């Protein structure tokens, strides 16, 4: 595989107990092409080591190192996964010569393969351009079933990422690209964005969101006191689709929690709010895949952002497996 790197066992270190008390003791480093079809619950961690899209979008590069930082932090966390749940590190999609489009295509193929093998994919990025490849992989998998199943995208983010790709795509264009593809195919573009900031999107982006019937919640509304109302909106959204793809952009969090991102701001949302909103999404039983984007170790402080990303993965992995 051209744009692929096999798992790095040296990332998985921590306390040794010989009782699988920590996730580095639980994980299996299994190359993507050797992964068998799961016979029981199985979670696959796949990196997207690419920040070419961030560079094109004039952001701070360094997110290509994000997947390794998240895996390393995740491995040191306690393991509460049941013995009937498998956990795999299947390596990372890479990007050479700034060829983001090829990396996205490879990511799409990998996601399709993981879903066919009955894995629950968790993609670790890397620039948010990963969303275009991730969505295409899910769609290819579902289209093969020929059942007309719909996908709803829920994005935790300060940005719409609906920039129009008049030339090349970048980390700010993925959902516009998805919307264009949906229009070509005559299918609905189902997109819910939580945490949008007025100081992070220009007026053209808000107009694009309105034109595309995007459902969004502003950051000043995306607060714990309004959780019940927001949960109602999430439930209404999930009810109208067959599958949910969740994508979490770390730059949506306040830089107090996530300094190591491509576009930091102190005005973002809190981890607690995201964790609370993930509960009804997971409870719907429709979550098919998820990713975390824009982890940039170059600007992290005491591994804080990597730990936040790892904690989000920890929460989702245990929740979807019933552990």
List Cβ neighbours of 141 (8 Å cut-off, separation of 6 or more): 111, 112, 115, 116
Strand partners, 120: 43
Number of Cβ within 10 Å of residue 195's Cβ equals: 27
Taking CA atoms, 188 is separated from 36, 161, 214, 244, in Å, by 34, 18, 11, 14
Number of Cβ within 10 Å of residue 40's Cβ equals: 11
Contact 90, 114 (CB under 8 A): yes
Consult the annotation and say whether 213 binds a ligand.
no
Looking at the chain, which runs of residues are DSSP E strands?
4-5, 28-29, 42-49, 86-94, 120-125, 151-156, 190-196, 215-218, 243-249, 287-293
Consult the annotation and say whether 302 binds a ligand.
no
Nearest to 110 by CA among 5, 32, 41: 32
Consult the annotation and say whether 3 binds a ligand.
no
Number of Cβ within 10 Å of residue 88's Cβ equals: 23
- Tokens matching residue 8: 């790095």
Q: Look up tokens 């552990």; give the residue.
A: 323
Taking CA atoms, 276 is separated from 43, 202, 270, 312, in Å, by 22, 29, 10, 11
Consult the annotation and say whether 24 binds a ligand.
no
Q: Look up tokens 């516009």; give the residue.
A: 176
The C-alpha atoms of residue 267 and residue 223 are separated, in whole angstroms, by 12
Binding residues: 128, 157, 159, 161, 249, 251
Binding residues for Mn(2+): 128, 157, 159, 161, 249, 251
């Amino acid at each position: 595989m051209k744009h692929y790197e096999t798992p790095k066992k040296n990332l998985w270190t921590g306390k040794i107990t010989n009782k699988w008390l920590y996730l580095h003791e639980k994980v299996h480093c299994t190359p993507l092409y050797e992964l068998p079809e799961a016979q029981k619950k199985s979670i696959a961690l796949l990196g997207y080591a690419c920040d070419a899209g961030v560079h094109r979008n004039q952001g701070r590069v360094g997110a290509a190192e994000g997947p390794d930082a998240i895996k390393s932090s995740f491995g040191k966390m306690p393991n509460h996964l049941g013995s009937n749940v498998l956990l795999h590190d299947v390596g990372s999609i890479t990007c050479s010569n700034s060829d983001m489009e090829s990396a996205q295509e490879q990511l799409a193929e990998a996601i399709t393969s993981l879903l066919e093998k009955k894995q629950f994919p968790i993609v670790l990025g890397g620039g948010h351009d990963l969303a275009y490849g991730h969505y295409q992989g899910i769609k290819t998998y579902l289209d093969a079933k020929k059942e007309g199943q719909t996908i709803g995208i829920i994005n935790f983010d300060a940005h719409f990422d609906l920039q129009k790709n008049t030339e090349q795509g970048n980390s700010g264009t993925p959902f516009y690209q998805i919307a264009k593809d949906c229009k070509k195919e005559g299918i609905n573009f189902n997109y819910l964005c939580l945490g949008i900031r007025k100081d992070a999107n220009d007026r053209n982006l808000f107009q694009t969101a309105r034109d595309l019937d995007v459902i969004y919640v502003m950051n000043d509304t995306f607060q714990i006191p309004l959780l019940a109302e927001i949960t109602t909106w999430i439930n209404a959204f999930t009810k109208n689709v067959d599958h949910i793809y969740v994508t979490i952009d770390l730059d949506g969090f306040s830089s107090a929690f996530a300094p190591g991102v491509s576009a930091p701001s102190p005005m973002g949302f809190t981890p607690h709010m995201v964790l609370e909103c993930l509960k009804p999404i997971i409870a719907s039983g429709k979550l098919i895949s998820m990713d975390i984007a824009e982890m940039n170790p170059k600007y992290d402080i005491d591994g804080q952002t990597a730990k936040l990303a790892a904690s989000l993965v920890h929460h989702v992995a245990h929740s979807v497996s019933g552990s």
